[in-house]
Amino acid sequence: MVKLLDFWAEWCGPCKFMEPILEEIEKELSGKVEIEKINVDENQELTVKHGVMSIPTYIVTKDDKEVERIIGATSKENLLKAITKHE
């Protein structure tokens, strides 16, 4: 199963900008991809474990192994491409 880890925070402007894009992707890829939202302020252990230094950071995993990483706000197309090439 492909999973998208979304590292974000309440105070992060680019994270808020990406929110509607992630919601669209979640609807479009429903049943194919699981999106896990990780608030970096509340989940520091997971943030450190994945080596996240800035947000937003999107990590695509397949079978619990990182296969792709996007740092910063990006286009819906870029995010979809990063996810779907590992389905």
pLDDT digits (tens, 9 = 90+) for 40-69: 999 999 999 999 999 999 999 999 999 999
CATH of 2-84, one of 3.40.30.10, 3.40.50.150, 1.20.1260.10, 3.30.499.10: 3.40.30.10
Instruction: Report d(CA 50, CA 85) in Å as an integer.
Output: 21
15 is catalytic: yes
* CB-based contacts of 80, cutoff 8 Å, min separation 6: 25, 28, 29
Among 2, 4, 5, 15, which one carries the catalytic annotation?
Answer: 15
Domain ranges of the chain: 2-84
Catalytic residue chosen out of the listed positions 2, 4, 12, 25: 12
Give the predicted TM-score (pTM) of the model. Answer: 0.95
For residues 17-39, average pLDDT: 96
Does residue 45 carry a catalytic annotation?
no
